[in-house]
Structures are given as C-alpha cells and as structure tokens.
Structure 1
C-alpha cells in the first residue's frame, strides 16, 4: 500500500515528521517497507533557459542549443521538436542520473558535436507521460533554481506492508485513523454530506444473487464532460505507480486508495436495459478492462444487462460499458460483495485487481453510501453535470459483532499489564464501542474490522497501540531434562548422501514441494488429495509426486541462461497421498552436458546413463548399502528411456534406486532440451546395519598380505548382462574377492555375430596367508566354471 505524506495529512492533522510517522506505523503493525522522496531523484536538475537553437550540421532532426543554467552556459544537442530560443525547462547536467531509466549523463559527442547535459521531458523525470517534447515552463520560471523546489515535489511516498488482518489500512483514511488512535494526531472528518438529486434515477438494478451481492447503490449523472484529470489527481495516482486515464476512471481509483472503497462508473448510454447482478452461466464470456476475454464457468458473480455480461462483480469491469472521452452520461455504482465469492472468482479467472484485493479481504459496507457521495461531488466539480437521487437496492449487511474481553487477558496473553481505563480508551479510539459487562468488557467491532473474531484479536489491538516495545523480553525456562541433540540414523544417512552427491560435482537445489498439476501427471496418476485447495500460485497447484520434474525444469532454466553443463541434486519428500505414510524421502539428481570443462589434458565426454548409475551407486555406498549384493536390472519407470535406464535393487521387491536417460517425451512436455540423465535413490529402502555392539564401526580389517589381480575375458551371448557375469565371479569366493571391475566389452572380428567379449579385472585380497600359484590356479578354474554354469560364457 502506497501513499504520499501530503495525502495522509489530508486526513490526519499532525505535526509529526516523516521519521516519526514511519516509526509509529511500524510500531502499530503497519510495517514501513520503503520511503521514497521524488525530490531526491530530482536534486541535480535545475531550471535552464535556451539562449540559442541552431540546426545540427549533420542531422536533420537535431538542434544544437546554447543553454544557460544560471551559473554557466553549455552546449547541448537536443532532438525535441519544441526546443527553441527562449524556452525554459528542466536541465540535467553531466553526472546526473535520469530517474526513469537510470542513465548517468556524461559529456559526449552526438554526430560529431559536443553535448554537455540534457534538456528533459516529463516522462524522463517520472512526472508524467508526455515525451513528445521537453518541459516548457512559464516565462517567469527562475533560471538556476532547483527544479524540485520550483515544482514543489518534496512529498515522500510511503509504502507499507499489509497483513491480512488489516484490510482497513488499504485506504489512506484508515491509516490516518490508526495513527490518530496511536496519538500521532487528530483524524479529520470527511465531507460525506448527501448531494440532493436533481431528478429521479432512471437506471433500475436487480439483485438475482443476494447471497453474493446483498446491496447495490447507484446514481445517474448526466451531461458530464470527461477528459484528462487535473494535475493534483494525476500526481496522486502517479505516486502510487498508476497511470492516469481520465477524470471518471481516476476518481474511482482515487476512492479505492483513499477510502478502501472500490467504485465503478458505467457509460450509461452503453447500458441496455436493467443492470442485473447474478451468477454466471457456463459458456458466457466478457471482455474485461484489461482487454482480455474471459470464458466464465457457472457461479461467478457478474454484472449483466440485456446484452449479456458487462462486468465481473467486485473484480473488474467490462469494456462494453467502459467510459471514454466521449462519455456524457454515467451511472456510478457502489456495492458490497461477499469476500469468499470474490476470492473464488479472482482465483478461478486468474485476475488480480485492486478491487478484488480489497473485496476478498472485506470492504467496509458502511463506506458504500459516503463513498458514492464523495465520488459524486468530485465528478460534479471536475466534470460538471447533474446528479440524480442515489438509489439503494437491497440491504446493507451488518458485519459488526460483539466480542467480550477480560482486561486481565491482556497481561496473560501479551506479557504487559494495561489498565482497564487505557484498554477502553485504545479500543474506543480505534472505533470500537466498549461497555462494561460485569468483570468483562463488551466490545462491538466497527464495520471496517471484519477480522476481529475473538478475545485474542482485541488483545492484539490493545498491544499494538499501547506499544510492542513495552513488552519485556523474558528468557525461556531452562529444562531440567538433558536434551539429546544427536542425529538419528536416517538423519545421518541424509547428510552422508548429500555430502557424497556434492562431492561428485552436483550442486544442491531446493525447489518447491509443489508443482503444476500438468507436470505431476507426467510422473504419477494425480490423486485428488494431492491437488491444493489454496495454492500460492495458479501454476503450483499440486504436491510433487516425484522430485525430478522440478529438478528438470530447474536445469532447463539454467540452460536457458547459458549454462552448458548442469548438475543438480535435491533431497526431500515426494508425495503419493496426503497421509504421513504417503511421504517418501528421496535423493534425486540430474545431469546435462559434459562431465567436465574443456581441458588440454583430457577430453570431456557427454554424460550418459552410466554417469547417473555411478552417482546412484556412490550415494548408496555412502549410506551403507551393500552394492555388491545388489542387482542391476531393466524396468525403470516410464519417465526414463526404456533402453537407457535401469533399476538397482536388493531382491525382487526392495528397490534402492532408478537411473538412466530421461525419456524425450518427458523433456518435450517440460520444455527442456535433452539429452538429460537422472537418478533417484530411495533413502528409506536402504537396510540399516544390524548393530550388535553399539554404534561403533568395529575394527579395521587390514591385510598384511599381498593382493593379487587377474584379468578374465569371457565370450557370452549379447543378451547376457555384465552384472550377471560379475555376480557369477563373486560367487567363486566371497571372502577372497575384494573387487570385480569391468574394463572392456568387444564386438567385432574374431567374435561371432550374436556374441560379445566381456573383460573383467578381479582383485584378490587374502587375510591369513600369501596366495600360491596353485591357489590362484584353483580360484581361476572355479571362476571359469561358475561363469560357464550361470551365463554360458567361455574363456576367450
């Protein structure tokens, strides 16, 4: 929420400085995020006079100006069509920064002619939209005076953060009311005197859905003259970052920010028949004022006439009845809409507007009639015309409630004792009506505080005005029990897994636990309970059934920013249901590009499924998995390439990891360029070691005897997996074999067409003696026999 200091003082009689106001706003729960003074941006700019204006020798549309700044005369090259001798305008000297684009000026040459500084337009200074020419000031403008002082732009813009329970602070008047209650001034009364109607209101309004719009007030104003708003109104809107449009539209925007009261103005001549507030029907559509066409479902609150839907109630008006420069008759609307229905409509249609932002948080229904009177007075003053009587259709809802407060609860809940008299004064100043009810206070909430529901809410109101700084800090009591700060085995496993993944060159990513439902559907059948009822964003509407979609899209974003080699991992839960049992702890990673940067000593290679397999196995080893006993088989999920992926498992049911190249169809659906490899390690599926002697690792088993290595090459059928050969070799002597490593696969001349040669290195590590030639020969014979028996392979 933004507003200027001068705007605040229109409602608050105060002598407080901007620093005092800022401090008090934060103290009462309206945290100040930024204070920006346009005068600071314009400090270097001065009023200068053009003494001479001559054509540029090498450019038809440029002029060479002699500019007097009050202290010196400079040469400036200028392209503005209105530049001429005698003109006075805003001059930016060398070293100044243009506020709107951040350009820092310096002496330069333009088409070979020296130029020092710049004559500026309104747009360049952020003071308006005019950029057709430079600023043209009156002839009596004093040369050499700072432009900010001459234009009186010393008006700080304050931006505050709005919490959901302070909807009343979405208007400058509400902010002033809170500051007055906090003792920083006196609230000024508004002129809400009813304007006498000059004729009967000819526009009829029908409420067909009173449950979502129980009341609608309207007033017809004829013979108005629309056009650009006066400077004071445009200045207010520009301070908010809004673009002025026309008097009629700007007045409604002013009321939205001044009183937190959204209004709408229809071009009455474009209305066809009665205005009807009803629910939409599936298939209807409307072109809204943002120029987008919205297809409507059943049940959205709409404003309609005989032509169909002309606006979205409480969200946004339609173009068909919008005001233009030629508008002469208008119908001004002030209504109250059910907050839940407005929030549902805005979220369903994906529309964010100032009106929706306020109505879904709860607009004060009692501002409806004062709001339309203030707006009418502004229209009559600025546009002329005659106003009809104001007609109210329906009944203004009563949202005030009575909440009881025990004065002692302020101390119990807030930690600071406040007297009953001060409690009554604070609540009364905030607009609450307080009466004694035995040992309690009966507090009637004002119409602008629909968020007050219970005793704790009233305690908070008292505390924020009394002062949070008066609450004494108290240390938490020290527990008499010893606190166990150790990590459990699964927590340790997560640390080992992350450290190993990082050590292999993968960078840890932390992504949302939710994702677009379209992405989730690529990796699982999306269950209804995993779809969020209240997502933080329309495209993050489902809990993630898998870690890979977010990692893949993160890799894609990095690739789009020019990173050729991407390696990411994430450790977290993925969800198969909304129960605790539906959460699975996974460490997943993705790689794309090459396995190293360019280097004179080695040639980088493209990453492939084996890199993902190596990553998965490294993480499994770090977590204590017995990889030597694991099986590597096909059958990875459908999001992997069927011929370039695999499964690491212990037995047929205990899956430890998936790895492989991501299926091209998945990458296409996620709009990521491939190829890309990935792995998933199921951390909870890794068996924990059976501890028999506590948590110690046990003695180091080191051998004093020489290890022996032997190479074997077997000819097997092409469909025989290397893992089956390794398993057969290990079965020869599990205690003696230290490692089996595949180092070559050959297919070609010398090998039959349907066969291949698989070469492996076997390392033997005796623990009790040195191996003899006879021991090695017996072992070799056993290895050859096991491979022949289990795979049909023969020694090459």
Structure 2
C-alpha cells in the first residue's frame, strides 16, 4: 500500500523526518519497503500483513503512529445523517451470508467534472488514478477510512437493487470494459434486468458515472471476505476494493466513510441528498474480553513495564480498559482487530509499541525438563526402532472423505460439523486410508520396494461417545514374500514391547485376504493381511499391498516386565530341518521345538520357502533353522545331533508334516 505522509499529518502532528517515521513503522511490524519524495510530499510504500486490515487506511496508520509517539489524534467524525428514508428504490439482499449489510444513499442533481487539485494529489499519491470528482471522492474515502464505496449512475438502474449470486454463465462487463462469464459462486449487485457490479471487486460499465450523470446511488456495504476472495481468484481481477474486502473491513467506519463521501459530493459536486436506506444487520458476535496478567507480561518479555504505561499503550491502540485489578487488566479489543484473541496477542502488541529495542537482552529462563508420560516415550522409542529396521515413516491427514470410508466398509466414523471442504468431512477410523494413498503415490512415481509405517490416532464412535486411540500402521508393497516380511516386522514390534504368549488367529476381515488377528488373553491387539483384489482394482494399485494395524494402547497395557539376563559366553550351534507341510501353523512347530530343546533353545526361523515344481498343490516346502546354546558350556556335536534328531522325529509324527 502507498500512502502520502502529508495526508497522515492531517490527523497527527508529525515533526519526525520521513525516514524516522518509516523506521518507527517498520520496527512496529508495518514494513516500509520504499520511501521517495514527490513534490512537497513524501510517499511511503508498505507491505501490509493479512491480519492487519486496519493498516489499509490513512486513519489506521495515524492510529499506529499515535500509539508509537504517544500523541493525540485529530480525527473528526462527520455527523451521521440517516433521513429521509429512501423511497425511490428498494434494496433486496438475497444472499445474506455474502452481504450482511448494504447501505445506499441517493443524491440528485450532481455535476460531474474534474476533481480539485488537492483531491487529485491525495489519491494519486496513494496509487489511484483520478477519474472525476464523484469517483475520486469514493476512492478518497476508501483510502482515508479503509472502507470501499461505489457510485452508480442512478438513472441507468432499472427497478430495485439486488444482492445475489450470479446465475450460471451470466455475463458481466466491468469498468475495465472486459466481458466476464460468471458462475454461481460469484456475488453480484444487479437491478431487475442486468448485473451492475461484481460485488466488492469492480463496478459495471452499464452504470458508470460519466459526464452526463445527474443522479447517483452511493453504495457502502460489508461483503464476505471468503466470497470476495473466491470471485477475485476465479475472475482473475484484483482491485483496491477487493484487496480490502478480502481482509475484512470495519463495521463502525462504514457509515462514517459513507457520510463523509456524501458531504464531499454535496460540497464539490452539488446536488441534494434525497434519501438513505440500510438493509441487513450486523451479525451478533460474542463480545471479546481478554484479561492480561502483568507478571505474565513481564515473564513473556523479560522486562517489567509499569502498569500505567501498559494502560497508555493499550488505550492508544484502541483497547478499552474496562477493569483494573492489582496485577491484572480486563480489556475489550478494537472491533477491527480480529487477530487479538488471547493474552499473548496483547503482550505482543505491548512489546511492539513499547519498542523491542528497549527490551534489555537477557539469558532466557530455562525451565525444568518436561517429563513425558511413559506411553509418550514408548511411542517415541518405537518410532526410532521401526526406522532402524529400514522402514520409512509417513504422516497422513487425519481428515478424509466419507465416500472413501464407505468404500472401505467403515461404519463408526465421526462426521465433522463444519468441514472446510466437503470432500474432507470425516475423521479417519483407520490408518488404511493414508497407507493406500501413500503407496499409490509412490508406485505412480515408479518407486518400488515400499516399506512405510505411521504412528497416529484414529477416531471412531463407540456406543454414545467418541473415542481416540493411538495406532501403528505398517504397509509394504513392491517385492515378493512381503507377507512373511511383514509378519516378521510385526513379530519384532511385539518382541520390542515384550509381548509374550500371543497367537496368530486366521480371521475374516473386510478388505483383506489371508488376514491374521494378533490375540493375547482373548483380546485382539491388531491384525495384518493383504488387501483384496477389489480394493487393489478400486485404487488402481500396480502391486500387492500388505498392511498391518496395531492398537498401541492395548500393546502398552499387555506388555510384560522386561528382565535382563547375562549373555552366554559360549557359541551358538544351529541345525536345519527340511519339511513339507499343509495346513500346519508355524507357531505349532515352534512350540514343539522350544519344548524339546528346553533350556538349550535359542531360536528358530524360516530360511527358505518353496512352492512349485515337484511339490503338490497346497503344499509348502520349508527349511527351518534351529539355534541351540548353553549358558554354562559349549555344546558338543553329539548332544546337538541327538537333540535335533529327536525334534525331527517328533515333527515327522505330526499330521500334515513330511520330513524331507
């Protein structure tokens, strides 16, 4: 935004140099990017942040300087005239959400001509080209107060004025003489037959104020920032008006800006005010009150500021100090300062105006180390453990679409009452959604051998309450034998959590084939399986996806105390057993081997699996490697062979097991 320093000086006494003013504003957060001289005036170009719409006006900048310099303002508020009631025309607001308030004033008998030089200079200094006295007055009041206004040629309006949404493919030609095809998303001002303005953005060519205009309808309104932003982006047009409406304009200054425009039009263009009409009403908003603590302020800034100085700063900034306690102040923020909601926001305002350069540099207070819950630490260490296994962590959205969950046959999901996007309107009850999306994205990028995990919360309804639980998801894709690898990783997770005496139970689970439940004490800790062909085809996956999900809270509850024993100093000996089997669980074989080996059992693993030629259908050929170790001596070959032969014999007696 560009503004004239002479314009600002009309509202506050400034003896400081332009460079000093620029430095003050920059240090307070309103960055002055350029400063240059133009005749007897100085022009400052600033970068206004989106949370400070009050800086988009000369009066707003004067308020800021008033607080920084502790000087009184010289702002005169015009006397508001709301009568007589306008009868020649009616205003009908059809889209009350898009336009809460619309104010119109009819002035007849005006003379449209060039603006006086003082008016031209002020708007040119702020980056706006002069047009004629009527249009220049509306721009002047916008620059001064921050509220955009618009003047229509009243005689070109046919019937009443409507604030509505555009119809599909309705056409509109703006003051820039470009024709635009609108959509139902666009908010427009129209009469009985045509669109006369794209609301809050640009007026229509068909109601332009020109040299032949005698009667004008002056518009002042409050438009929805969201609607204006969407219209501006869709139509590819940005104006001074849209820039301000998008950042929210002041309710209180709407009538003030409109009244000053009327006064200037009557003074510079002649004519007579024939009537006023106001439609809509300001939405009832909960009054914001903030209680700040002076000790907290001192702790936040690292410096104590006297109570009276804090009150003075806040008063100059437009805060109302309603109550004063011993160490606290009860405040009501200015209506336009929607960015101030919490005490910390007020502390920042005090620091800005007090001056960051006045705060002495001190070493920060180092609080005691935060002691996290054991469960938090468990998740943190588990995350590091999975990364050490070569699995990459992913973080996916907790919000997803209802249609996706219905495709996954999920039922107990929680709907969001006010979603930002209708496509994302429910909280995830499973981590499968994000896992599928992550795998699909990486497969589409020609990445293979995918190994992902995610530790995150899921959300679901249980009876009449809402539940939130921490879960672990593991997703593998892109290589052969991923099912066994996934099961091995899940086994390592269970070992990490010191879960013992659990079992793998085949189960029927929606969206999965060959699914296994992880069961301990008759409770399911989670499951793993391969997604079925329906989902694979639905999500257009080029590879199989193996997925596991574990309830971390149950895992935490079922863990057993961990005891440490000394390592054996003696070597481990292993022997292999080759078998063919059908419908026999590995856990059954493991249990027999463990029982027969007794204290010498160190472990058992599958080192090879084969199914194909020379092997009947439904039969798997496995090679098991059994590890033996003693704590007190080196086992001899005779001992190991005798033990191993006994185990082979017992395994061979199991129905469905064939020794090879």
Per the TM superposition, whether the score is higher than 0.5 is yes
The counterpart of 1:570, out of the listed 450, 454, 464, is: 454
Check whether the contact 1:15–1:185 (CA below 8 A) recurs between aligned residues.
no
Aligned ranges for residues 31-50 of structure 1 at < 5 Å? Answer: 31-32=29-30, 35-37=32-34
1: distance between equivalents of 2:18 and 2:444? 45
Cα deviation per residue 1:254-280 (whole Å; 9 max; x = unaligned)? 8666533144566767755323569x9
The counterpart of 2:578, out of the listed 700, 712, 728, is: 712
Match of 1:500 in 2: 385
Does residue 642 of structure 1 match 2:642?
Answer: no
Check whether the contact 2:503–2:520 (CA below 8 A) recurs between aligned residues.
yes
Alpha-carbon deviation of 1:633?
4.7
The counterpart of 1:653, out of the listed 523, 544, 564, is: 523
The counterpart of 1:625, out of the listed 495, 499, 519, is: 499
Alpha-carbon deviation of 1:494?
2.1
Match of 1:98 in 2: none
Cα deviation per residue 1:122-150 (whole Å; 9 max; x = unaligned)? xxxxxxxxxxxxxxxxxxxxxxxxxxx99
Does residue 261 of structure 1 match 2:127?
Answer: no
Does residue 218 of structure 1 match 2:105?
Answer: yes
1: distance between equivalents of 2:444 and 2:152? 46
Check whether the contact 1:402–1:442 (CA below 8 A) recurs between aligned residues.
no
**Secondary structure at the residue paired with 2:606?**
strand
Alpha-carbon deviation of 1:562?
7.2
1: distance between equivalents of 2:341 and 2:428? 35
Check whether the contact 2:597–2:643 (CA below 8 A) recurs between aligned residues.
no
**Secondary structure at the residue paired with 1:588?**
strand
2: distance between equivalents of 1:401 and 1:586? 39
The counterpart of 1:760, out of the listed 587, 603, 624, is: 624
The counterpart of 1:182, out of the listed 68, 71, 74, is: 68
Alpha-carbon deviation of 1:713?
1.4
1: distance between equivalents of 2:155 and 2:444? 51
1: distance between equivalents of 2:532 and 2:134? 57
Alpha-carbon deviation of 1:368?
2.4
Check whether the contact 1:631–1:651 (CA below 8 A) recurs between aligned residues.
no
Match of 1:317 in 2: 199
Match of 1:273 in 2: 159
1: distance between equivalents of 2:618 and 2:330? 92
Does residue 158 of structure 1 match 2:46?
Answer: yes
**Secondary structure at the residue paired with 1:576?**
strand
**Secondary structure at the residue paired with 1:743?**
strand
Alpha-carbon deviation of 1:183?
1.2
Q: CA 1:372–1:444 in structure 2 vs 1: closer, same or farther (change >3 Å)?
A: same
Check whether the contact 2:529–2:547 (CA below 8 A) recurs between aligned residues.
yes
The counterpart of 1:171, out of the listed 36, 57, 64, is: 57
Match of 1:10 in 2: 7
Cα deviation per residue 1:492-547 (whole Å; 9 max; x = unaligned)? 43233222222233333444544455556555747675526475x77655444334
**Secondary structure at the residue paired with 1:177?**
helix
Alpha-carbon deviation of 1:191?
10
Q: CA 1:725–1:252 in structure 2 vs 1: closer, same or farther (change >3 Å)?
A: farther
**Secondary structure at the residue paired with 1:739?**
strand
Alpha-carbon deviation of 1:458?
8.6
Gaps of 5+ in 2: 115-119, 173-179, 299-303
Match of 2:490 in 1: 616
| Structure with the bigger percentage of helix | 2
Alpha-carbon deviation of 1:323?
0.6
Match of 2:430 in 1: 546
Cα deviation per residue 1:227-264 (whole Å; 9 max; x = unaligned)? xxx9996895699xxxx999999997886665331445
Q: Which has the higher contact order (CA 8 A, sep 6+)?
A: 2
Alpha-carbon deviation of 1:709?
0.8
2: distance between equivalents of 1:575 and 1:767? 48
1: distance between equivalents of 2:358 and 2:622? 79
1: distance between equivalents of 2:315 and 2:246? 26
**Secondary structure at the residue paired with 2:570?**
coil
Check whether the contact 1:493–1:683 (CA below 8 A) recurs between aligned residues.
no
The counterpart of 1:204, out of the listed 90, 101, 105, is: 90
Aligned ranges for residues 450-465 of structure 1 at < 5 Å? Answer: 465=353
Check whether the contact 2:167–2:182 (CA below 8 A) recurs between aligned residues.
no
Match of 1:393 in 2: 278
Q: CA 1:175–1:490 in structure 2 vs 1: closer, same or farther (change >3 Å)?
A: same
Alpha-carbon deviation of 1:334?
0.9
Check whether the contact 1:704–1:767 (CA below 8 A) recurs between aligned residues.
yes
2: distance between equivalents of 1:193 and 1:293? 40
2: distance between equivalents of 1:410 and 1:581? 36
2: distance between equivalents of 1:253 and 1:556? 53
The counterpart of 2:552, out of the listed 664, 670, 683, is: 683
Cα root mean square deviation, aligned: 6.2
Check whether the contact 1:286–1:309 (CA below 8 A) recurs between aligned residues.
no
Aligned ranges for residues 16-165 of structure 1 at < 5 Å? Answer: 16=16, 20-21=20-21, 24-25=24-25, 31-32=29-30, 35-37=32-34, 157-163=45-51
2: distance between equivalents of 1:255 and 1:634? 75
Check whether the contact 1:216–1:392 (CA below 8 A) recurs between aligned residues.
yes
The counterpart of 1:367, out of the listed 246, 249, 253, is: 253
The counterpart of 2:184, out of the listed 277, 290, 294, is: 294
2: distance between equivalents of 1:676 and 1:712? 30
Match of 2:375 in 1: 490
Q: CA 1:446–1:617 in structure 2 vs 1: closer, same or farther (change >3 Å)?
A: closer
Check whether the contact 2:153–2:217 (CA below 8 A) recurs between aligned residues.
yes
**Secondary structure at the residue paired with 1:364?**
coil
2: distance between equivalents of 1:18 and 1:540? 50
TM-score by length of 1: 0.59
1: distance between equivalents of 2:137 and 2:282? 25
Check whether the contact 1:732–1:782 (CA below 8 A) recurs between aligned residues.
yes
**Secondary structure at the residue paired with 1:161?**
coil
**Secondary structure at the residue paired with 2:184?**
strand
The counterpart of 2:469, out of the listed 574, 584, 589, is: 584
Check whether the contact 1:400–1:445 (CA below 8 A) recurs between aligned residues.
no
Q: CA 1:266–1:503 in structure 2 vs 1: closer, same or farther (change >3 Å)?
A: farther
